[in-house]
Amino acid sequence: MSYLRDNIADMAGYVPGFQPPDENQWIKLNTNENPYPPSPQVIQAIRAATGDDLRKYPDAPSRSGREAAAAVYDYPIDWVIMANGSDELLNNLIRACVGEGEEVAYLHPSYSYYATLAAIQGARIKTFALLENGEIKGFPERYAGKLFFLTNPNAPLGLRWGIEEVAALADRCEGLLVVDEAYADFAEGNCLELVRQKPNVVVTRTLSKSYSLAGMRLGLAIARPEIVAALDKIRDHYNLDRLAQTAVAAALIDQSYFKDCVQRICATREWFCSEIKTLGYQVIPSSANYLFATPPDRDGKRVYEALFERKILVRYFRDPVLSHGLRISIGTREEMETTLQALSEIG
């Protein structure tokens, strides 16, 4: 006899990208972290917050973070919610909208954590195949599922859909369309404006990648006030700790540092993309801080292992639709030069 619900007993559990214990010995290009440090203003603000005040609970609604996000994204404050990583929002959106046995959809390939969250909820999962040219297979004229996650730009392929295409998808969804914009800061455009225009669109963002704060666990969503209010009922009431609240406000306010880091990463991405092609790799044009690259022999595992031996970590997916290639995060120019050199030796 098991004390567990069947769906929990049966599920596999999500496996995050490998974080080696000796992380500073590696060139770490496997979890799309930012190679640059957080803004000096963030570090300074966190230092100033690590005192006596830690004995007190944090501000339950994270008002300073909401205010900073409302200003940056040009939305009223009641259209913004903060989260302990955007993963928390993906989870709570399912809990808010999808009952047991009801349907959640996403593209395959995209972020596989959606499947884990749906399984915990006891929801049914529907996937639509995504081709490497961006075509979505078999998406119906009317999609009746309760929630559809669109990772835009797509992870791990890096391609993206423009706002008109996403608006058209929203019109075909009877349920909520959650646009997971974890990487939108590295792209030419985004879908934030759709939240105002379409009643069923929610946009999620994270500070993990573009703001160099993966270690702080900070995410947010822009959604209609009634959805924000529902998500507020579901979340842990103290979901952001004091240091996280301090960090998020400081990070969002320092837009010039943020823009500078993003611009450097995008420039390195374009340079790396053209260089790796000269080694015979096929690369999908990327709007994110990683590239999906396929070696000439289409054996992603071989190249992954050869890089691993050289203490360079990239992401290899066993999934048959991805196993021919590798997802390589964009590090500093120097890290990418070392990686290219290794790839040319590996052949």
Ligand X SMILES: *Cc1c(COP(=O)(O)O)cnc(C)c1O
Scanning 45-53, 60-68, 79-87, 191-199 for contacts with ligand X by CB under 6 A, the matching segment is: 79-87
Site for ligand X in 215-274 (CB under 6 A): 219
Contact (Cβ atoms closer than 8 angstroms) between residue 343 and residue 314: no
Q: Would you call 37 exposed, middle or buried from its count of C-beta atoms within 10 A (0-12, 13-18, 19+)?
A: exposed
Scanning 1-9, 82-90, 186-194, 328-336 for contacts with ligand X by CB under 6 A, the matching segment is: 82-90
Give the Cα separation of 156 and 329 in Å (integer): 10
Q: Report, in Å, the least distance between residue 14 CB and ligand X.
A: 11
Helix pair angle (225-234, 86-97), 10° resolution: 100
Among 33, 102, 180, 335, binds ligand X (CB under 6 A): 180
Residues 89-118, one symbol each (x = binds ligand X by CB under 6 A, - = not), give ----------------------x-------
Whole-number Cα distances in Å, 226 to 164, 199, 222, 232:
25, 10, 11, 10
Nearer to ligand X, 227 or 288 (CB): 288
In terms of Cα–Cα distance, which of 109, 118, 94 is closest to 14?
118
Residues 139-158, one symbol each (x = binds ligand X by CB under 6 A, - = not), give ------------x---x---
Q: Would you call 272 exposed, middle or buried from its count of C-beta atoms within 10 A (0-12, 13-18, 19+)?
A: buried
Amino acid at 7: N
Among 91, 208, 246, 268, binds ligand X (CB under 6 A): 208
Nearer to ligand X, 39 or 151 (CB): 151
Q: Report, in Å, the least distance between residue 237 CB and ligand X.
A: 19
List interacting residues with ligand X (CB under 6 A).
85-87, 111, 151, 155, 180, 182, 206, 208, 214, 219
